[in-house]
Structure 1
Amino acid sequence: MTGYHKNGALFGTGLTAFLLLLFVIGCSPACAAEHYKVLVVFSYEPDYFWEREIREGVEDVFASAVELSYFYMNTKEDPAGGEARAAEAFARYQALKPDGVIAADDVAQELFVVPYLKNKVKTPVTFCGVNAEPEVYGYPAENVTGILERFHLEETLSFNRQLAGQTDTFAVMVNKSLLADLVSTQLEKDRDKLSARLVGVLQPETLTEAVAMAKEYREKTDLLLLLTLKGVVDGQGKLVSDAEAIAAVLKAYAKPVCATTEFVIRQGALCGVLASGQEQGRKAAEMLLKLLQGVALSELPVTRNFQGERMINATVMKELELVPSPLALRGATLVRTQ
């Protein structure tokens, strides 16, 4: 019996060690970070599709292994309140004392990270969804790095040409905002690299303006590239939902409309090569996790998005009676109007 107990103990010890090894090998990088607290500061509202995508990407990396806190600056619907919300975000930061911060989109950089965190605290910060050049915010900084957002504009123009034919001229529509200014800057920089002539960047503040612009530019362009209209208001100054505004513009333009986000395509745009909010959030979280685990910030340079998903709204394609070639459909995701 004594030998049996010894062998059993030995077997038990070996089994325990084996199971522990399996756990360590199979565990995600975030599993070892259960004590980390991370504050994620979004520029816009929690119901904005882009912020939802970024959050999904962040949570893909951290899962339940990191204590995540979220703060929304709500500057699509209340741009004037941005500075006050940034001060509230910093108060949340001071109370939470997080091990790391993720800041999404440009407003959060301009009003929160740069005034309160950049080179002022030791807490590592990663950003995502930034449209401006990093030098605008002094990035990279002692404690800040991250991922830029760049639209797949030329790819989207070429894709529309494959599906709908002639695409010699186009306009871009995005509600008047910091994003609109940054898009204008990027388009001006890339103008000579595009295969279609940019006729204008339309920045409506009201739904009436958006519809009027769509009707006007229907006669001037082959294509409208619609980014977002969240933040436009009606005649009484009441906010109009992004979906309602998009539907009105699509009806007024009455020609192919492209987009760079899945939400707008599902609302009725024909196609686009998408920038992924999930990619932005995932990369920012991966970079932050490495910083928390001791990787030097100098080893994590500012990067940009590269993934581009081709998406087609099959409902719209049928309505326009388009019969694209098999090559145009290859590798594309087909969706229907919501």
Structure 2
Amino acid sequence: MPAHAADQRHILIVHSYHKGLRWTDTVDAGMLSVISERGSAFETHTEYLDTKRSGDETHYLQMRDMFRHKYRATRLSAVLVSDDDAYNFMLRFRDELFPLVPVIFCGVNYFTDFTDPRMHDIYTGVVEAFDIPQTIRVALKLHPETTRIVIINDRSTTGKANRKIIDTVIPEFSLKVAFDYLEDLTMDELRTKLRQLKPGTVILLMTFNLDRSGEVFNYDESIGLIAEAAPVPIYGVWDFYLGNGIVGGMLTSGRDQGRMAAEMALKIIDGTPVRSIPVVRESPNRFMFDYRQIERFRIPPDRIPPGALIINRPPSFYREHKEKVWAVGAAFMVLSGLVAALLVNIRRRKKSEESLRISEEKFSKVFRSSPDWITISRLSDGRYLDVNEAYLKTTGFTREEVIGKTPFELGIYGDNQDPKRLFDLLRERGSMQLEEMVFRMKSGEPRVVQRSAETIEVGGELLAISIVRDITEEKKAKEAVLASEQRYRAIFENASEA
């Protein structure tokens, strides 16, 4: 035997029900999440009593004999049990199976204080204290028109324990609403009765894993069949129903139950006396709701208790694209400053042109309404991310033709211009000021322009912001004036010589 195996301590986990039952699986996951933090210090052994499928006396005696044979040579440090059947099994057989081994329970619905004080040296754990009153209160708050609450429950061990607890709760609400039980039915009979429910009714679903005919349903199957037939809101007290058809409620978490029990077990193994770890009688329950059911039954959001967990809520645009929103906001801030600076230069250069006034918060309007072209493109590949209306109007291209394309693909640059050199210069210098170029329109017409550009980094990517002015007519006018001056000068000089 390897040395590390001899040093391992053994923990036995005994579940009341079967593997694959969501409650049992989440309890088991909670236990193992704690134990696994100790690495290879512990070896766990997991057993399932499977009492939802078989729970008669013969079954319990066979399980006892199996445990006695299987673990006769295993020295256990602790036994973890989940739910009432496994807990009662240990109360009955622990002395002959695992004498002096501490037992830590969770998920026990009907816990009573020990009459024998010596039991406090052996047993402790977490009571499954689901909160039916809080679930009923929130259901009545969210559906103030309710006059009747129908309770779905089975006749299993868990169901019988549920019934005892519910019967103590009903008097608190009996003057406000009527209560009816749907239990001891086949699943088909139950679904028929559910389809007949009228508005003003709310369902409180406890457990319905075993119907009158003896057919067994896991939690997913049970809630699926019930939710499909029920035309009214369903509430519950366990989180394994959430997301499968219930509106919500004050819900108990199987994972939390298992986690707390395992933490107690490790404390005991580390040397803390069992007696000094009291039984936890209040589960860490919380309000949980399904957004889809809130929408289905048109529940006003302001009625939902503050701090409640809401699943299936569609993400807000900001939450889903927060980085992009911040990046675009930063880009607009930078662009606002760039446009403001360029407009100052334009005013200085051409005083006769009507001044354009821009403020940081009105950048978008300036971008769209500017008579000059304004383009935003990626410096890495030159592809346009956005262009303003002036660009489209002057060049003759449509927005669909431009976005995602490069100016080279559109054929905008003139034949005598090296596009790679232009982008290399911009990347090297970080900016370009009033560079005269020739752009070709969609029609093929060449236009003389002045281009100013600036680079900015957004989200780790370099963008080029360009403002382009069409100076074709201005240049023609200047050339005409210059030609006229030269013509008159020639006439004057010829006249002087004569």
TM-score, normalised with respect to structure 2:
0.54
| Gap change, CA 1:71 and 1:170, over 3 Å in 2 | same
- In the alignment, structure 1 residue 127 sits paired with structure 2 residue 105: yes
224-233 or 69-78, larger mean C-alpha shift: 224-233
Letter in 2 for 1:187: I
- In the alignment, structure 1 residue 185 sits paired with structure 2 residue 164: yes
Shift of 1:183: 0.9
Residue 98 of structure 1: aligned partner: 76
Residue in structure 2 matching 1:199, options 171, 176, 179: 179
Preserved contact between residue 152 and residue 260 of structure 1 (Cα < 8 Å): yes
Mark the runs of 5 or more structure 2 residues left unpaired by the alignment.
1-6, 314-498
Residue in structure 2 matching 1:51, options 24, 36, 50: 24
Preserved contact between residue 170 and residue 179 of structure 2 (Cα < 8 Å): no
Preserved contact between residue 207 and residue 240 of structure 1 (Cα < 8 Å): no
221-230 or 191-200, larger mean C-alpha shift: 191-200
Letter in 2 for 1:165: P
| Gap change, CA 1:135 and 1:205, over 3 Å in 2 | farther
Residue 78 of structure 1: aligned partner: 54
136-145 or 268-277, larger mean C-alpha shift: 136-145
Shift of 1:88: 2.5
Residue in structure 2 matching 1:281, options 233, 255, 258: 258
Letter in 2 for 1:247: G
Residue in structure 2 matching 1:257, options 219, 234, 241: 234
Letter in 1 for 2:191: V
- In the alignment, structure 1 residue 328 sits paired with structure 2 residue 304: yes
In the TM superposition, 1:104-115 aligns within 5 A as 104-110=82-88, 112-115=89-92
188-197 or 65-74, larger mean C-alpha shift: 188-197
Residue 246 of structure 2: aligned partner: 269
| Gap change, CA 1:301 and 1:222, over 3 Å in 2 | same
In the TM superposition, 1:206-217 aligns within 5 A as 206-215=186-195
| Gap change, CA 1:319 and 1:40, over 3 Å in 2 | same
For 1:260 and 1:333, locate their aligned partners in 2 and report how far apart those are by CA, in whole Å: 14
For 1:243 and 1:138, locate their aligned partners in 2 and report how far apart those are by CA, in whole Å: 40
Letter in 2 for 1:188: D
253-262 or 183-192, larger mean C-alpha shift: 183-192
Letter in 2 for 1:222: T
Residue 127 of structure 2: aligned partner: 148
Percentage of pairs with the same residue: 23
Residue 229 of structure 1: aligned partner: 208
Shift of 1:57: 1.7
- In the alignment, structure 1 residue 314 sits paired with structure 2 residue 291: yes
* Matched residue SS, 2:124: strand
Shift of 1:178: 0.7
Shift of 1:97: 2.7
* Matched residue SS, 1:99: strand
* Matched residue SS, 1:70: strand
Letter in 2 for 1:88: M
* Matched residue SS, 1:303: coil
| Gap change, CA 1:151 and 1:213, over 3 Å in 2 | farther
Letter in 1 for 2:127: L
For 1:191 and 1:324, locate their aligned partners in 2 and report how far apart those are by CA, in whole Å: 27
* Matched residue SS, 2:310: strand
For 2:260 and 2:311, locate their aligned partners in 1 and report how far apart those are by CA, in whole Å: 26
| Gap change, CA 1:226 and 1:189, over 3 Å in 2 | same
* Matched residue SS, 1:267: coil
TM-score, normalised with respect to structure 1:
0.78
Residue 424 of structure 2: aligned partner: none
| Gap change, CA 1:46 and 1:319, over 3 Å in 2 | same
Residue in structure 1 matching 2:278, options 301, 304, 308: 301
Residue in structure 2 matching 1:165, options 125, 140, 144: 144
Preserved contact between residue 114 and residue 120 of structure 2 (Cα < 8 Å): no
| Gap change, CA 1:115 and 1:231, over 3 Å in 2 | same
| Gap change, CA 1:215 and 1:144, over 3 Å in 2 | same
Task: Report Cα offsets for 1:112-160 as digits up to 9, x if no partner.
Answer: 2022115971111111111112248968444112111111112112222
Number of aligned pairs? 299
* Matched residue SS, 2:301: coil
* Matched residue SS, 2:151: strand
Provide the alpha-carbon RMSD of the alignment: 2.9
Letter in 2 for 1:129: G
For 1:113 and 1:198, locate their aligned partners in 2 and report how far apart those are by CA, in whole Å: 39
| Gap change, CA 1:194 and 1:56, over 3 Å in 2 | farther
